[in-house]
Amino acid sequence: MKKLMVLIMMCFILSLPMITTLEADEYQNYQEIIFDEEGHQLLKHYTKDDYNSYYSNFAKKYFMGWRILTVTRNETVEFLSETKLKIYNNGYSTIKHNITLTTKEETKFQASVTGELDLKVSGNVKKFKGGLDANIKGTIQYTKSTSASESYEFVIIVDPGTYVTIVTRGTGEISNGVAKHYLFWIQTKKGGWETFVVTTEYFEIIKERL
Protein backbone atom coordinates (compact mmCIF):
# COMPACT_ATOMS: atom_id res chain seq x y z
CA MET A 1 0.00 0.00 0.00
CA LYS A 2 2.82 2.37 0.89
CA LYS A 3 4.58 1.59 -2.40
CA LEU A 4 1.35 2.25 -4.30
CA MET A 5 0.86 5.61 -2.56
CA VAL A 6 4.42 6.70 -3.34
CA LEU A 7 3.98 5.65 -6.98
CA ILE A 8 0.76 7.66 -7.27
CA MET A 9 2.40 10.73 -5.72
CA MET A 10 5.40 10.48 -8.07
CA CYS A 11 3.10 10.25 -11.11
CA PHE A 12 1.23 13.33 -9.88
CA ILE A 13 4.43 15.28 -9.37
CA LEU A 14 5.82 14.36 -12.79
CA SER A 15 2.61 15.63 -14.37
CA LEU A 16 3.03 19.13 -12.89
CA PRO A 17 3.69 21.91 -15.46
CA MET A 18 7.28 23.15 -15.84
CA ILE A 19 7.27 26.93 -16.18
CA THR A 20 10.66 28.47 -16.87
CA THR A 21 9.79 31.92 -18.22
CA LEU A 22 9.64 35.16 -16.26
CA GLU A 23 6.11 36.17 -15.27
CA ALA A 24 6.37 39.84 -14.40
CA ASP A 25 4.54 43.11 -13.83
CA GLU A 26 5.13 46.35 -15.70
CA TYR A 27 7.93 47.54 -13.41
CA GLN A 28 10.21 45.11 -15.24
CA ASN A 29 9.86 47.41 -18.26
CA TYR A 30 10.87 50.58 -16.40
CA GLN A 31 13.67 52.49 -18.10
CA GLU A 32 15.77 52.50 -14.94
CA ILE A 33 15.71 50.98 -11.45
CA ILE A 34 18.62 51.75 -9.11
CA PHE A 35 19.12 50.36 -5.60
CA ASP A 36 20.16 52.88 -2.94
CA GLU A 37 22.53 50.31 -1.47
CA GLU A 38 25.02 48.31 -3.52
CA GLY A 39 25.05 44.52 -3.59
CA HIS A 40 21.44 43.98 -4.65
CA GLN A 41 19.92 43.04 -7.98
CA LEU A 42 16.57 42.48 -9.63
CA LEU A 43 15.17 38.99 -10.02
CA LYS A 44 15.53 39.21 -13.81
CA HIS A 45 19.29 39.61 -13.35
CA TYR A 46 19.71 36.41 -11.32
CA THR A 47 22.17 34.06 -13.02
CA LYS A 48 22.19 30.27 -12.99
CA ASP A 49 25.05 30.43 -10.48
CA ASP A 50 22.97 32.75 -8.28
CA TYR A 51 20.09 30.28 -8.23
CA ASN A 52 22.36 27.35 -7.45
CA SER A 53 24.00 29.28 -4.63
CA TYR A 54 20.67 30.33 -3.10
CA TYR A 55 19.09 26.87 -3.44
CA SER A 56 22.07 25.39 -1.60
CA ASN A 57 20.82 27.15 1.56
CA PHE A 58 17.93 24.69 1.78
CA ALA A 59 18.23 21.26 3.33
CA LYS A 60 17.91 18.47 0.77
CA LYS A 61 14.49 17.26 1.89
CA TYR A 62 11.47 18.58 3.77
CA PHE A 63 8.24 16.74 4.47
CA MET A 64 5.73 19.25 3.10
CA GLY A 65 5.20 22.94 2.35
CA TRP A 66 7.20 25.95 1.23
CA ARG A 67 10.76 26.89 2.12
CA ILE A 68 11.73 30.50 1.38
CA LEU A 69 15.05 32.32 1.19
CA THR A 70 14.91 36.14 1.17
CA VAL A 71 17.96 37.56 -0.61
CA THR A 72 16.86 41.21 -0.78
CA ARG A 73 14.51 42.50 1.91
CA ASN A 74 12.60 45.80 1.58
CA GLU A 75 15.47 47.59 -0.15
CA THR A 76 14.81 51.15 -1.35
CA VAL A 77 15.11 51.86 -5.07
CA GLU A 78 14.75 54.90 -7.30
CA PHE A 79 13.16 54.42 -10.70
CA LEU A 80 12.47 56.14 -14.00
CA SER A 81 9.39 54.45 -15.35
CA GLU A 82 8.78 56.23 -18.64
CA THR A 83 9.38 59.32 -20.77
CA LYS A 84 6.04 61.12 -21.13
CA LEU A 85 7.01 63.58 -23.86
CA LYS A 86 9.77 65.73 -25.37
CA ILE A 87 9.40 69.28 -26.72
CA TYR A 88 12.10 70.68 -29.03
CA ASN A 89 12.68 74.34 -29.92
CA ASN A 90 14.86 74.70 -33.01
CA GLY A 91 13.72 78.28 -33.59
CA TYR A 92 14.84 81.69 -32.42
CA SER A 93 12.04 82.64 -30.05
CA THR A 94 10.71 81.18 -26.82
CA ILE A 95 7.71 78.88 -27.10
CA LYS A 96 5.17 78.04 -24.43
CA HIS A 97 3.08 74.90 -24.10
CA ASN A 98 0.17 74.16 -21.78
CA ILE A 99 0.44 70.47 -20.94
CA THR A 100 -2.00 68.20 -19.12
CA LEU A 101 -0.68 64.83 -17.97
CA THR A 102 -2.78 62.14 -16.39
CA THR A 103 -1.45 59.35 -14.25
CA LYS A 104 -3.12 55.98 -14.67
CA GLU A 105 -4.76 54.06 -11.87
CA GLU A 106 -2.38 51.31 -10.87
CA THR A 107 -1.62 48.88 -8.10
CA LYS A 108 1.30 50.00 -5.96
CA PHE A 109 2.14 46.34 -5.29
CA GLN A 110 3.67 44.42 -8.18
CA ALA A 111 5.26 41.00 -8.34
CA SER A 112 7.29 38.66 -10.54
CA VAL A 113 8.15 34.97 -10.50
CA THR A 114 10.48 32.63 -12.35
CA GLY A 115 10.80 28.88 -12.66
CA GLU A 116 7.80 26.86 -11.57
CA LEU A 117 6.24 29.55 -9.36
CA ASP A 118 2.98 31.22 -10.40
CA LEU A 119 1.07 34.46 -9.87
CA LYS A 120 -2.68 34.80 -9.42
CA VAL A 121 -4.35 38.04 -10.54
CA SER A 122 -7.85 38.98 -9.42
CA GLY A 123 -8.74 42.52 -10.49
CA ASN A 124 -6.02 44.77 -9.09
CA VAL A 125 -4.93 42.22 -6.49
CA LYS A 126 -1.92 40.01 -7.23
CA LYS A 127 -0.93 36.98 -5.18
CA PHE A 128 1.62 34.22 -5.32
CA LYS A 129 -0.17 30.93 -5.94
CA GLY A 130 -0.21 27.76 -3.91
CA GLY A 131 -0.01 29.30 -0.44
CA LEU A 132 3.32 30.97 -1.21
CA ASP A 133 1.80 34.44 -0.73
CA ALA A 134 1.27 33.97 3.01
CA ASN A 135 4.78 32.59 3.46
CA ILE A 136 6.41 35.52 1.67
CA LYS A 137 4.30 38.07 3.51
CA GLY A 138 5.53 36.53 6.74
CA THR A 139 9.15 37.35 5.86
CA ILE A 140 8.86 40.84 4.34
CA GLN A 141 6.64 43.91 4.75
CA TYR A 142 4.32 45.13 2.01
CA THR A 143 0.80 46.38 1.38
CA LYS A 144 -1.46 45.90 -1.64
CA SER A 145 -2.91 49.38 -2.12
CA THR A 146 -3.94 51.06 -5.38
CA SER A 147 -3.17 54.61 -6.54
CA ALA A 148 -5.96 56.64 -8.14
CA SER A 149 -5.75 58.36 -11.53
CA GLU A 150 -4.87 62.07 -11.27
CA SER A 151 -4.41 64.93 -13.75
CA TYR A 152 -1.69 67.60 -13.60
CA GLU A 153 -1.40 70.82 -15.60
CA PHE A 154 1.97 72.30 -16.58
CA VAL A 155 3.04 75.48 -18.36
CA ILE A 156 6.24 74.53 -20.18
CA ILE A 157 8.53 77.29 -21.47
CA VAL A 158 11.10 76.10 -23.99
CA ASP A 159 13.92 78.52 -24.81
CA PRO A 160 15.51 78.66 -28.27
CA GLY A 161 18.06 75.92 -28.87
CA THR A 162 16.80 73.74 -26.00
CA TYR A 163 14.44 70.85 -25.44
CA VAL A 164 12.34 69.78 -22.48
CA THR A 165 11.75 66.20 -21.40
CA ILE A 166 9.05 65.15 -18.95
CA VAL A 167 9.61 61.79 -17.26
CA THR A 168 7.93 59.81 -14.52
CA ARG A 169 10.19 59.08 -11.57
CA GLY A 170 9.66 57.66 -8.13
CA THR A 171 10.87 55.53 -5.25
CA GLY A 172 9.90 52.07 -4.12
CA GLU A 173 10.91 48.97 -2.21
CA ILE A 174 12.02 45.66 -3.66
CA SER A 175 12.27 42.26 -2.01
CA ASN A 176 13.26 39.06 -3.76
CA GLY A 177 14.60 35.58 -3.26
CA VAL A 178 13.93 31.94 -4.06
CA ALA A 179 11.50 29.29 -2.88
CA LYS A 180 11.01 25.54 -3.00
CA HIS A 181 7.90 23.46 -2.37
CA TYR A 182 7.92 19.91 -1.04
CA LEU A 183 5.29 17.19 -0.92
CA PHE A 184 6.10 14.02 1.03
CA TRP A 185 9.84 14.81 0.98
CA ILE A 186 9.80 15.33 -2.80
CA GLN A 187 10.51 18.74 -4.32
CA THR A 188 7.55 19.75 -6.51
CA LYS A 189 8.35 23.37 -7.40
CA LYS A 190 11.19 25.84 -7.25
CA GLY A 191 11.87 29.30 -8.60
CA GLY A 192 12.49 32.94 -7.88
CA TRP A 193 10.06 35.53 -6.51
CA GLU A 194 10.09 39.31 -6.26
CA THR A 195 7.85 42.07 -4.91
CA PHE A 196 7.95 45.73 -5.90
CA VAL A 197 6.01 48.41 -3.99
CA VAL A 198 5.76 52.01 -5.24
CA THR A 199 6.15 54.48 -2.35
CA THR A 200 6.30 57.80 -4.26
CA GLU A 201 5.77 58.78 -7.89
CA TYR A 202 6.11 62.18 -9.58
CA PHE A 203 6.77 63.98 -12.87
CA GLU A 204 10.21 65.50 -13.46
CA ILE A 205 10.85 68.25 -16.03
CA ILE A 206 14.35 68.29 -17.54
CA LYS A 207 15.63 71.12 -19.76
CA GLU A 208 18.71 70.56 -21.93
CA ARG A 209 20.46 72.23 -24.85
CA LEU A 210 20.17 70.80 -28.34
pLDDT of residue 138: 73
pLDDT of residue 101: 82
pLDDT, tens digit, for every residue of 142-193?
666 666 677 888 889 999 999 999 999 999 999 999 999 999 999 999 999 9
Between 200 and 150, where is the model more confident? 200
pLDDT band at 99, cuts 50/70/90? confident
pLDDT band at 4, cuts 50/70/90? very low
* Cβ within 8 Å of residue 36, ≥6 positions away: 75, 76, 77, 78
pLDDT, tens digit, for every residue of 33-91?
999 999 999 999 999 999 999 999 997 788 999 999 999 999 999 999 989 889 999 99
pLDDT at 104 over 80: no
